[in-house]
Structure 1
Amino acid sequence: MLGLAKRVGARFLLTSTSEVYGDPLEHPQKEEYWGNVNPIGVRSCYDEGKRVAETLTMDYHRGDKVSVRIARIFNTYGPRMCIDDGRVVSNFVAQALRKEPMTVYGDGKQTRSFQFVSDLVEGLMRLMEGEHIGPFNLGNPGEFTMLELAEVVKEVIDPNAKIEHRPNTEDDPHMRKPDISKAKELLGWEPKIALKDGLPLMVEDFRRRVYGDTKIDTVV
């Protein structure tokens, strides 16, 4: 794709990830932080794959003058996600709707930050239409433990939903929260939709699909 962008003179967007920070020793994470990644761990194919992608993107920019933009995306949720994609928000919502226990890995005290999809889209558009390369953290600084997220899902779907603890996965980051000062200053962007407001919109969509109504509204 970088080669194609070079040949046709296109602007190239790399949707990178907060996973480039690994299990961070800095909190919240700024774009200048180089990360704490295990290069041979079970998660490393994703972490290091995105880090290499950022390297290639910047090499094409410096060496071949390709116009590039880099966004480091933090956890994002919203309608139309795959129900069984394995992401924590979709897992919890689908499990609660199906009357299954919500699976929390480890003690549930690890934190993540969740942004609604429309906030992310707005950030990506501002990045592509602006003059700054990045990388930019695009995420919601609101920070929740997995247990707190499970409680929010219970409030929206079923107060009697159960939580089931399972052994944690290897190299699971303990903390994840973006510092979005750079995006605020240079892109004029910050997320507007809080988890308590965005989650019901996702639940409505999941409810239709889990209970058999597969009709998806068309956005014009």
Structure 2
Amino acid sequence: MASNDIENYKVQLEQVEAALTQDPTNDDLLKLKQDILEIINLTQDLATEEKSEEKEEAIESFEGLVSIDPKSWRVGDKCMAIWSQDNRYYGATIDSILVDGTVEVTFDVYRNKDVNRIAQLRQYDEKAAAALAKKSKQRRDKLATEREYRKKKAEKKKLRMRELEEEREVDKRKWESFNSKAFAKTRRGLVKKSIFASPDSTSGRVGIGTCGKSGQEMTKFQQAVKYTKK
């Protein structure tokens, strides 16, 4: 949606800017340009926020976590496993060991289930598990707060976009009205032919405007009588 909308707004902006070259002080056109620019910026901001993901660090440093021979793991063992949502190690319990070299685990915190490669597992460290669980809760709380903030911010931007769209429609109608009046003014410069204009042919007569008024007939022309002095 966003990319197509932005392109449409840019086309409209070009049209307004072209009109401004003919009438650079027109308040309606200037406001329309400002509104379209704001809509473009808001649309780009929303598109960026929608695409942005919470980018966590890669697998958290597991220095201090001890590797164990994969063959020694048993169902029910406590271990440190990676949660795929943030690629960090947390305390977990092995639920099953599969023939393809993966294990199904349940994490101590939030009781989420996930799958790890058995070679990724680390020896369970109670202190590390507690510290990571605490960090996980703090991180989740922070992300939830940030997510709520972004959500409210996006809602405000969408509301502002709706307002601008309504204003843009009003400005657009004003602009169309302006163009229509300008066109009409140009046409008024053309002179309509008068009924008193010179005749088109040599046999034509200039009409006298009594025809059809107050029941009068068209003025009749009589041959002038030559007067002879006695």
Provide the TM-score with structure 1 as the length reference. 0.19
